[in-house]
């Protein structure tokens, strides 16, 4: 397993709670394209989970599929695997 990059580590710091893509951009001071690519990598590694609003349940729920071209349509949260990778650093 490779070590997390600085931007990946910073993203994991930013998503301990359900956060929007815009909030991640605000908190993690990197260019948007680098943030988006790094967030997509973290999702592929299952370190971060995309979340969608469930109107019926009135809460965010994990989304197993997401549109990588529309990152702002989702919220994001760190997973158990992400916590382990984050804390291993």
pTM, two decimal places: 0.91
pLDDT at position 1: 60
2-61 pLDDT per residue, tens:
789 999 999 999 999 999 999 999 999 999 999 999 999 999 999 999 999 999 999 999
Taking the C-alpha atoms of residue 37 and residue 65, their distance in angstroms, rounded to an integer, is 16
Two tokens at 62? 């994990």
Angstrom CA distances, 32 to 62, 65, 72, stand at: 23, 21, 11
pLDDT band for position 89 (cuts 50, 70, 90): confident
Q: Which domains, from first to last, does the chain contain?
A: 6-88 (1.10.10.10)
Q: Which residues pair with 76 in a beta bridge?
A: 19, 50
């Amino acid at each position: 397993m490779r070590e997390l990059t600085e931007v990946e580590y910073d993203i994991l710091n930013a998503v301990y709670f359900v956060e929007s893509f815009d909030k991640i951009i605000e908190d993690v001071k990197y260019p948007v394209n680098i943030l988006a690519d790094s967030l997509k990598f973290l999702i592929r590694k299952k370190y971060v989970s995309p979340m969608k609003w469930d109107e019926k349940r009135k809460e965010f729920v994990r989304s197993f599929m997401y549109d990588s071209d529309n990152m702002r349509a989702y919220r994001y949260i760190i997973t158990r695997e992400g916590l382990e990778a984050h804390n291993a650093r």
